[in-house]
């Protein structure tokens, strides 16, 4: 079972035009893949303009226009980021996201695998919406209970802010969750049998492992803050394992997926 996962898709002003061109290239690359992916996930941010700032409406319309060109047989999964909800989300910004893009947290099943899409801004700062955070926490406990009963082949999480960039013990940073929060979540995930967490936010590729949990941080379709290329991450899930590889947009369009991943897809 395959999924295509990315990090951020954002920026404003003149740079936004480049972001849109790159997102068009990403959609074209995904549409050309054979076999078709089971779904295409954007791990936030969807747009650059924060709530209440100029160009937000225009950027939203631009992205919606580009995403309409995605093959209709490839479901689109959207994860909320800090630029989508604000660094300190409110009931109003979450309602706006839900109205524009859909639920800010939800679960779905593909091929016996349970996927959880989470609103990580609640764990960054929920001071303006504590009741909404509590609702997600309660819902998450219920979902993890299902996963913990081993009613699924695997359980996989998508959220914008990574638990950690390299190590569970690393210092707190803008690009990760605080030590106390990350440790509590990671232990919960591991206890329920979650195998991997996929995130964006960092605009660079990163990641590490904690016990048997794989933390995968994908760089961006657009703005890069490191030396990675504009790209997408291909994820292949089989009964035994979860394999992933980051591809540049040019590489994916020109050459497609490498033979070893293609062989794994036949095992799904």
What are the tens digits of pLDDT across the range 4-56? 444 454 445 568 888 899 999 999 999 999 889 999 999 999 999 999 998 99
Angle at 243 between CA 24 and CA 114, to 5 degrees: 85
Angle separating helix axes 179-191 and 130-148, nearest 10 degrees:
30
Report the alpha-carbon distance of residue 134 to residue 265 in Å, rounded.
38
pLDDT tens, position by position, 216-254:
999 988 777 778 888 999 999 998 999 999 999 999 888
DSSP β-ladder status, 231-237 and 2-6: antiparallel
Report the alpha-carbon distance of residue 146 to residue 130 in Å, rounded.
25
The answer on pLDDT for 120 being more than 90 is yes
| 107 φ, ψ (degrees, to nearest 5) | -130, 160
Mean pLDDT score of the chain: 92
SS (H, E, C) 66-104: HHCCCCCCCCEEECCCHHHHCCCCCHHHHHHHHHHCCCC
Under DSSP, is residue 254 helix (H, G, I), strand (E, B) or coil? helix
Predicted pLDDT of residue 13: 58
Task: Write the CATH number of the domain with boundaries 16-265.
Answer: 3.60.21.10
Which position has the higher pLDDT, 114 or 151? Answer: 114
Q: What share of the chain is helix, strand, coil (3-state, %, to 5)?
A: 35, 20, 45
Ordered by start, the domain boundaries in the chain are 16-265
Q: Residue-wise over 21-59: b if at least 16 C-beta within 10 A, else e?
A: ebbbbbbebbbebeeebbbbbbbbbbbbbbbeeeebeeb
Predicted pLDDT of residue 12: 52
């Amino acid at each position: 079972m395959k999924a295509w996962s990315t990090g951020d898709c954002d920026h404003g002003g003149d740079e936004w035009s480049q972001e849109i061109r790159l997102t068009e290239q990403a959609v074209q690359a995904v549409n050309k893949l054979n076999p078709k992916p089971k779904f295409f996930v954007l791990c936030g941010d969807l747009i650059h303009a924060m709530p209440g700032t100029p160009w937000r409406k225009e950027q939203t319309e631009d992205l919606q226009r580009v995403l309409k060109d995605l093959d209709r047989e490839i479901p689109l999964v959207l994860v909320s980021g800090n630029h989508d909800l604000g660094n300190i989300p409110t009931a109003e910004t979450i309602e706006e996201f839900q109205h524009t893009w859909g639920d800010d947290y939800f679960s779905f099943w593909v091929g016996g695998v349970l996927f959880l899409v989470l609103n990580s801004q609640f764990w960054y700062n929920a001071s303006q919406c504590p009741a909404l955070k509590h609702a997600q926490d309660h819902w998450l406990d219920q979902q993890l209970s299902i996963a913990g009963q081993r009613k699924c082949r695997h359980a996989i999480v998508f959220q914008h802010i990574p638990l950690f960039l390299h190590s569970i013990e690393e210092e707190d940073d803008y690009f990760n969750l605080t030590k106390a929060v990350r440790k509590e979540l990671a232990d919960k995930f591991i206890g329920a049998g979650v195998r991997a967490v996929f995130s964006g936010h960092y605009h660079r590729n990163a990641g590490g492992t904690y016990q048997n949990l794989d933390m995968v941080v994908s760089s961006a379709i657009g703005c890069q803050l490191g030396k990675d290329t504009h790209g997408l991450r291909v994820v292949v899930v089989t009964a035994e394992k979860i394999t992933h590889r980051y591809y540049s947009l040019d590489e994916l369009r020109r050459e497609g997926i490498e033979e070893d991943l293609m062989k794994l897809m036949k095992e799904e």
